Amino acid sequence: MGNLKIQNMNIAYQGQSAIKDATLAFESNKLTGIVGPNGAGKSTLLKGIMGLTPLNTGAVSLYGKPLKEMINKVAYVEQRQEIDLSFPIDVFGTVLFGTYAKLGFFQRPKQKEKDLALKALEKVGMATFKDRHISELSGGQLQRVFIARALAQEAEWLLLDEPFAGIDATSEKIIIELLKQLRDEGKSIVIVHHDLHKVKTYFDNIVLLNKEVVAFGTVSEVFTADNMGMAYGEAISEMISLGGGTNVK
């Protein structure tokens, strides 16, 4: 039974449906992937959960309460292209920013918050970069810094939008191992992902989305020929039927 719940979520842009009647119950202490074709509404779903995109109808709750009352328990890591790398802030300041979720913007961080930010940087292996400007980081390093920001928030749930996009294979391996470790330590993690090759080894559960929820469950439950055909079209459905399994993009 999930602790983060979406009930009848509908989102439309200029009259065009982006999310249609989505109802989901994400399980806590799991790594859950959201996959689907381009334009399926994967990022929109995360933004709808976080209240960054208004809902036409529907509700989001955490532990039985409206999410807006529990928002400090959820951290959101946006896509890298949405980050203004010219903003004058270093790595430590970026991570320290995560503590403002509980402090409020009119209180200055004290030593407790600074220690929390440093501990978060150490957790993701980026403490030695704390004085660098964020524009000096590689894509993989930047993603680790934003995961550290989420940890400094002391959030129980982490929602990440395409964290592996545009980074090298070594960085991706470091990040997924970090996320698995955080899950094992009790975090609940939801990730928008596009590479179907890796879902079996990366995730405990999968949401298959194409504006509406096609299927939700384990990889073996979700990646059937019928489900993949509904989400991606007949070509992928036929590949799975012929033995291609999940090894498709």
Give me the DSSP letters along 1-19.
Answer: --SEEEEEEEEEETTEEEE
Q: Using one digit for the tens of pLDDT, what is the confidence trace for 56-106?
A: 999 999 999 999 999 999 999 999 878 888 888 999 999 999 998 777 667
Q: Please compute the mean of the pLDDT values over residues 198-204 and round it to a whole number.
A: 94
Residue 113 counted as domain residue: yes
Q: What is the pTM of this model?
A: 0.89
The pLDDT value given to residue 248: 39
Looking at the predicted structure, is the pLDDT value of residue 52 above 50? yes
| CA–CA distance, 123 with 111 (Å, rounded to integer) | 18
The pLDDT value given to residue 242: 41
Residue 45 counted as domain residue: yes
The pLDDT value given to residue 60: 98
CA 185 to chain centre: 17
Residue 34 counted as domain residue: yes
Percent of the chain with pLDDT over 90: 75
- Segment (H or E) for 121: helix 111-123
- Segment (H or E) for 75: strand 74-77
Find the angle CA(168)-CA(235)-CA(38) to the nearest 5 degrees.
45
| CA–CA distance, 68 with 61 (Å, rounded to integer) | 8
The pLDDT value given to residue 153: 94
| CA–CA distance, 76 with 147 (Å, rounded to integer) | 9
Domain that holds residue 42: 29-51+71-244
Asked if residue 34 lies in contact with residue 207, where contact means CB atoms within 8 angstroms, the answer is: yes
Residue 66 counted as domain residue: no
Residue 138 counted as domain residue: yes
CA 76 to chain centre: 7
The pLDDT value given to residue 86: 82
Q: What is the CATH number of the domain that holds 80?
A: 3.40.50.300
Token pair recorded at residue 233: 């079209």
Residue 166 counted as domain residue: yes
Tally of CB atoms within 10 A around 121: 25
Asked if residue 203 lies in contact with residue 219, where contact means CB atoms within 8 angstroms, the answer is: yes
> Which one, of 140, 145, 143, lies nearest residue 128 by Cα?
145
Residue 9 counted as domain residue: no
Number of domains into which the chain is organized: 1
Using CB atoms within 10 A of its CB, is residue 131 exposed (0-12), middle (13-18) or buried (19+)?
exposed
| CA–CA distance, 241 with 239 (Å, rounded to integer) | 5
Residue 235 counted as domain residue: yes
